[in-house]
């Protein structure tokens, strides 16, 4: 078991923490958020510092994930983590179904009830939100947010930092 530090304690941060807890891969979860000082807790997890303080925690946490809804801001922090060689996992809620032939890059979160079918390529830092379905042979570029309930047919390509709403 290891420790996970989540950057962002807003609504998406709550969803990421819930998925991470459900995976049972981490025995400790904490948050960084710019509201630190005013916000000391998110769900049952501590908020330990501000977002830009992540470097201070490299020896304290095994894994780091960015849980910020804004695509550009999420990718900004994710690229900083990746370039500094932080370990950034993929978080997949156990109620989701992901084909073994699909590929998902670091920092992507697949939320409860999502289905990812065969030969799908998903870039880094994506949000595959609640109940999203992605059919065969799709390409989802870096930083994409597919909102709850989005359904993509086969062979769809979604460009970098795109947000597809409900």
DSSP 35-98: TBTTB-EETTEEEEE-GGGGGGGTTT-SEEEE--SSHHHHHHHHHHHHHTT-----EE-TTSEE
CA gap 19, 33 in Å, rounded: 19
Burial class (CB in 10 A: 0-12, 13-18, 19+), 22: middle
What's the distance, Cα to Cα, between the start and end of the chain in Å? 36
Strand ordering across the sheet containing 139-140: 103-104, 121-122, 139-140, 157-158
Q: Is 76 a catalytic residue?
A: no
Active-site choice (12, 76, 136, 145): 136
Write out the catalytic residue numbers.
136
């Amino acid at each position: 078991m290891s420790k996970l530090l989540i950057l962002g304690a807003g609504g998406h941060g709550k969803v990421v923490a819930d998925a991470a807890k459900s995976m049972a891969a981490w025995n400790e979860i904490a948050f960084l958020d710019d509201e630190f000082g005013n916000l000391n807790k998110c769900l049952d997890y501590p908020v330990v510092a501000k977002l830009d303080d992540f470097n201070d925690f490299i020896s304290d946490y095994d894994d780091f994930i960015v849980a910020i809804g804004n695509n550009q801001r999420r990718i900004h922090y994710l690229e900083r983590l990746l370039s500094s060689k932080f370990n950034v996992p993929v978080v997949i809620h156990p109620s989701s179904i992901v084909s073994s032939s699909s590929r998902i890059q670091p920092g992507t979160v697949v939320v409860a009830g999502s289905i990812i079918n065969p030969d799908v390529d998903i870039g880094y830092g994506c949000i595959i939100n609640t109940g999203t379905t992605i059919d065969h042979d799709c390409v989802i570029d870096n930083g994409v947010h597919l909102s709850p309930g989005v359904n993509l047919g086969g062979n769809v390509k979604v460009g970098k930092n795109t947000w597809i709403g409900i």
